[in-house]
Amino acid sequence: MGLSKHRRLRRREEFRKVLKDGKRARDHLLSITAVDSQNTDAEPRYGFAIPKRVGTAVIRNRIKRRLRAIADRADHPRGWDYVIYAFPAAANATSQELSESIARLLKRLKSGNRTRP
Partner RNA sequence: CGAGGCGGACGGGCGACCACUGCGGAUGCGAUUCAGUUCGUGUUCGUGGAGGAAAGUCCGAGCACCGGACGGGCAGGAGCGCCUGCUAACGGCAGGGCGGGGUGACCCGACGGAAAGUGCAACAGAAAGCAAACCGCCUGAGGCUUUUGGCUGAAGGUAAGGGCGAACGGGUGCGGUAAGAGCGCACCGCGUCGGCGGUAACGUCGGCGGCAUUGCAAACCCCGCUCGGUGCAAGGCCAAAUAGGGGAGCGUCAAGACGAGUGCCCGCGUCAGUUCCCGGGUAGGCCGCUAGAGGUCACGGGCGACCGUGAUUCGAGAUGGAUGGUCGCACAGGGUUGGAAGGCAGAGGGAUGAAGGCCUGCGGGUCGUAAACCUCGCUGGAACCUGGACAGAACUCGGCUUAUAGUCCGCCUCGCCUG
Partner RNA sequence: CGGGGAGUGGCGCAGCUUGGUAGCGCGCUUCGUUCGGGACGAAGAGGUCCCGGGUUCAAAUCCCGGCUCCCCGA
The least CB distance from residue 37 to RNA, in Å, is 15
The least CB distance from residue 22 to RNA, in Å, is 13
Q: Are 18 and 64 in contact (CB under 8 A)?
A: no
> How far, in Å, CA of 81 to CA of 116, rounded?
19
Rule CB under 7 A: say whether 6 interacts with RNA.
yes
Site for RNA in 56-85 (CB under 7 A): 56-58, 61-62, 64-66, 69, 72-73, 83
Buried b (16+ CB within 10 A) or exposed e, 44-78: bbbbbebeeebbeeebbebbbebbbbbbeeeebee
Could you tell me how many residues of this chain bind RNA (CB under 7 A)?
30
Q: What residue ranges bind RNA (CB under 7 A)?
A: 1-6, 8-12, 15, 47-49, 53, 56-58, 61-62, 64-66, 69, 72-73, 83, 94-95
